[in-house]
Structure 1
Amino acid sequence: MSSGVSGLLLVVAVALVDAEGRVLVQQRPPGKPMAGLWEFPGGKVEPDEVPEAALTRELAEELGIAVETRALIPIAFASEGLGARHLLLLLYVAREWAGTPEPRHASALQWVRPTEMRALTMPPADVPLVDALKRLFAGTKA
């Protein structure tokens, strides 16, 4: 049965978790779709690229940090209609990286606890991932 979707858009994102249990989110810059919304860092998976390699590449480009693929732990995914395409967003958690994140392709960065994320305006695909993070951190100081 056809759903009218012309293609699948595979996107990867990460919840970088610092020593205090906070998660890094970035604000989409002006001029981009969904400008001003807060999201998990990441991006599109290119053809012939595995998700983990795409995520390490995106983090180097977007934040200027190095994350080893072994440090990426898959925790959740979101599936969302996006016009004629369909978005599949894979979320990973990472607690280890080299470098200090900087907003190279974003308006701003902020560290927030998963319980505080509901107060942020986020893209529709990111919203269910917040609940997955909150469950993951249930019982911790996050």
Structure 2
Amino acid sequence: MTELIKVVGGAVLDSLADPRRLLVARRTAPPQFAGMWEFPGGKVEPGEAPDVALHRELHEELGISVRLGAELQSPDGAGWPLNERASMRVWFAEIAEGEPRPLEDHDELRWISLRACDEALTLPWIPADLPIVRALLETLAASVRADSLPGN
């Protein structure tokens, strides 16, 4: 049996304490995903811790350093299924240093409103990311009612 490919993604917010916007990235490749939106991130290297991989990927792809918040819990706790061979873990994050730029794999970055969920849900997301977007919006709506993000 082949081990699942481990992928990490960042739900980069304008603020972990009072999130109002989410940074999303538009893919340039592979062809079937070009022009679709996603959470920035990438593959975990062998022997690399997932949180270390996320810091590395966000620096390589966007040129930023981040502070990580809580992990967005997946339904089974093992990560969000991307396909039959890969799963992704997603963490809330905020920019600690740098100005995000599309350096690798993306041609556009966009801050989208979390107050108007329609904006997030009308973007053409990579299909595997859409359930994650919905869960993120539900988690943030619940945290607004509870007045803080989980883990803060």
TM-score normalized with structure 1 length? 0.82
* Residues 76 and 129, structure 1, Cα contact 8 Å, conserved in 2: no
Distance 2:92 2:137 in 1: 12
Structure 1: runs of 5+ lacking an equivalent: none
Cα 1:30–1:74 change in 2 (3 A) is closer
Q: Specify the alignment match of 1:81 in structure 2.
A: 83
Distance, in Å, in 2 between the alignment partners of 1:119 and 1:130 is: 11
Mapped contact 2:66–2:94 kept (Cα < 8 A): no
Deviations, residues 84-137 of structure 1 (Å, cap 9, x unaligned): xx2111010013421111111111000112412111111122111111111122
- Identify unmatched segments of 5+ residues in structure 2: 75-79, 145-152
2:43 aligned partner = 44
Alignment partner of 1:130 is 2:127: no
Q: What is the root-mean-square deviation in Å for CA atoms of aligned residues?
A: 2.1
- Indicate whether 1:9 and 2:5 are aligned: yes
Q: TM-score, normalised by structure 2?
A: 0.77
In structure 2, how many angstroms separate the alpha carbons of the residues matched to 1:59 and 1:32? 22
The alpha-carbon distance between structure 1 residues 79 and 36, as it changes in their structure 2 partners (threshold 3 A), is same
The reply on whether 1:103 has 2:98 as its aligned counterpart is: no
Contact 2:66–2:95 (Cα < 8 Å) also in 1? yes
CA distance in 2, matches of 1:131, 1:30: 24
Count of residues in Structure 1 that have an aligned counterpart in Structure 2? 132
Change (3 A) 1:127 1:48: same
Question: Aligned in 2, Cα 1:74/1:118: closer, same or farther, shift over 3 Å?
Answer: same
Moved over 3 A (4+): 30-33
CA shift for structure 1 position 81: 2.2
Q: 1:102 to 1:7 in 2, by over 3 A?
A: same
Q: Secondary structure at the match of 1:125?
A: helix
The one-letter amino acid of 1:109's match is L
Cα distance in structure 1, aligned partners of 2:23 and 2:30:
22
State how far apart, in whole Å, the 1-side matches of 2:83 and 2:28 are.
Answer: 22
